[in-house]
Amino acid sequence: MLTRHYGAVMLSEGRAPQPVRDALDAWFGGDLTAFDGLEVRTGGTVFQRAVWRALRDIPAGETRTYGQLAAAIGAPKAVRAVGLANGANPVGVIVPCHRVIGANGALTGYAGGLERKRWLLGPRGGRSVALAGRRRRRRRQGRDHLGRGRRSAGLQL
């Protein structure tokens, strides 16, 4: 991943910079905004960096769909490209790609695995109020999570 973003790299042993260590300690201590002040410099294309900036704009405790993220960067039809950029995020957790979910509210791919994503979204991440509200409205209207009419015993509800 490093080579893909930065070209040839030479790793050396050492500690992370103090602000990063402090932010990690605070985050694991429960401060979900601990990474907000960290400067992040990544490689990637202009489009990828726009997606990664938008990821950092998702408030702690909320999620967004890939479509919402695409709209947030002004490219509402680029949902798949947003998904690819999200998956190429080189600074997971600090750039919270785990806060992006499928249009139907389902957890979708995460490089660290869905169990880790579920853990990150647990008390730390929640679900977006807008998405939950949309699901409740659809249930009241007799629709499933995708907006289709529900069927019961072959009858349209």
Residues with active-site annotation: 97
Helices (H), 8-91: 18-28, 46-56, 66-72, 79-87
Spatial distance between the Cα atoms of 77 and 111, rounded to a whole number of angstroms: 24
- Amino acid (1-letter code) at residue 17: P
Q: How would you classify residue 123: left for phi > 0, otherwise alpha for psi between -120 and 50, otherwise beta?
A: alpha
**How many residues does this entry show for the chain?**
157
Q: How many angstroms from the chain centroid is the CA of residue 66?
A: 8
Spatial distance between the Cα atoms of 156 and 142, rounded to a whole number of angstroms: 9
CA distances (Å), 126 to each of 13, 31, 50, 58, in order?
36, 15, 24, 12
Tokens of 90: 């080189």
